[in-house]
Structure formats: structure tokens, C-alpha cells
Amino acid sequence: MKCNKVKIIAIFTLKIGCKMKVEILEFVEGARNAKGVAVIIDVFRAFSVACYAVDSGAVRIIATSEVSEAFLLKKKYKNSILVGERDEKKIIGFDFGNSPTEIIKADLSGKTVIQTTTAGTQGLINAINADAVLTGSFVNAGAIVKYIKSIDPDHVSLVAMGYRATNSAEEDLMCAEMIASELKNERFIPENRIADLQNTSGKRFFNPDNIDFSPPTDFFLCTMINKFDFVLKATRRFDGNVDLMKIVL
């Protein structure tokens, strides 16, 4: 699939009477084309990890696109840790990989998390035309829907970042479909389809060769629907990176 492919899937009217246009896009180019409220979706695993990090006590998350920038940020911020991956594996010199299994075992109280990943954080950095930007994942999808309804935007862009930001990923597209359906007050029940992910895009978590960096528990932690009642809203920083702020619904 070409990176600049844009799919408009729904234009609908909410009960409150305001017309909201919702579109699903993909990859970095989709993030650049996102308008209105952009939800940058990375289920496996960046924005599931971000939610678990906040739940584990992190007071701040700074998202960046470059490994070198992450190391520079760590020098600037005391009590900070590095979280992220390249080729799915923890980056040499980082404190944690892109694994919720690692994060839930850690006490991140008072920590600043500096995060960089192959797909998710690239989307945040490139969502330059959106009015507001949120992270997206299954673990807080309900809160995302609630937040969007509360601000009632004219346009919502759901950006499925995909595997390594180059290949469509079933879990990201499914999460986008879930958010879009619930925005128009249609119940979306993904459980059976989520189980099927073990045989498709989530298959890598069950490969014994990947146990050290992509364990099976990551799959289950990333697919816990509505575990958290908050959204992570992005704010662009003076240095071009992005701060993520927790908003409880």
C-alpha cells in the first residue's frame, strides 16, 4: 500500500446535531495529511507503552523521532529514562525497550520518559497540520472517543501508523475502525478479531526467537480494551519534539 493513500470512511451526524467528518489514513504521510483532531494510532506497541508508562508513575513523556535527539534530551532532563526501539529491539544505551511487559515491572514515579519508536513517535512529530493530536491504542480507545465527543470537532483524522510505518497493520486499522464506529454511537465489539491477530500481525509476539524483546505478554497488554480512562494529548515543543500530557476523562 502506498504511503500517501487516504481513505475517507465516514461522514456522519452525531446526536448533538453537529456534522463530523472522520477519515482513516496511514503511515507518516497520513500523519502529515491529518486535519482537525488527529489520533496517531500505534497499538503494537508505542502508544500502549506510553499509557502504561503514565500508569506506572511517569510525570512526563517526551516523544522524539531520532535516537540521537533522545540521548540529547536525557542529558537535559534529570530523572529521565529512555524508552524505545529500532527493528523492534531495545536501542543500545536505552533503559527500556518498546515493551509494556518491561514497563509494568518498573516504578516510574516522578520520571520523565523520553520515547522514540520506528512508527508511533514518527507520526506524532509529523502531524504538523492538525489542530490537536492524541495518541491512539486499544487500551484507552474509549477515553479517546469520549474526549473527541466532548470537544466536538468538525474533522477527525485517524492515522494508523502500521508496522514500521510502511506496512498496513490490522491492529491499528481495527483500532481506527473501533474509534470511528463509536464516534457515531455504533457499538464495536472487537474481541474475536483481536484473538485472530495472534495469527496475523501479532504473530511475532509468539515467536520464541523474539521472547527477549517481544514477549507474548506484550500482545495481551496491548489488546486490553479500555484499560485506562485517560488520553495522552500532544503538544509541540520549541525544539520540534512533542510533550504528551495526560487528560483524565
Integer Cα distance of 195 and 189 in angstroms: 12
Instruction: Give the pLDDT confidence of 128-148 residue by residue, as tens digits.
Output: 999 999 999 999 999 999 999
Q: Is the dihedral of CA 17, 19, 24, 27 positive or negative?
A: negative
Which domains are present in the chain?
1-249 (3.90.1560.10)
- The angle subtended at Cα 236 by Cα 143 and Cα 135, nearest 5°, is 25
**16 alpha-carbon distance from chain centroid:** 28
Mean pLDDT of the chain: 93
Instruction: Give the pLDDT confidence of 147-171 residue by residue, as tens digits.
Output: 999 999 999 999 999 999 999 999 9
DSSP string, 32-55: HH--SEEEEE-TTTHHHHHHHHHH
- Quick one: average pLDDT of 226-243? 97
Q: Is the dihedral of CA 219, 223, 224, 227 positive or negative?
A: positive
Integer Cα distance of 183 and 146 in angstroms: 8
Q: Are strands 112-116 and 60-63 parallel, antiparallel or unpaired?
A: parallel
9 or 211, greater pLDDT: 211
235 or 8, greater pLDDT: 235
- Percent share of the chain, pLDDT over 70: 93
- Quick one: average pLDDT of 43-63? 98
Instruction: Give the pLDDT confidence of 1-27 residue by residue, as tens digits.
Output: 333 344 444 444 333 345 899 999 999
The answer on pLDDT for 175 being more than 80 is yes
- Quick one: average pLDDT of 42-62? 98
pLDDT of residue 10: 45
- Quick one: average pLDDT of 23-43? 98
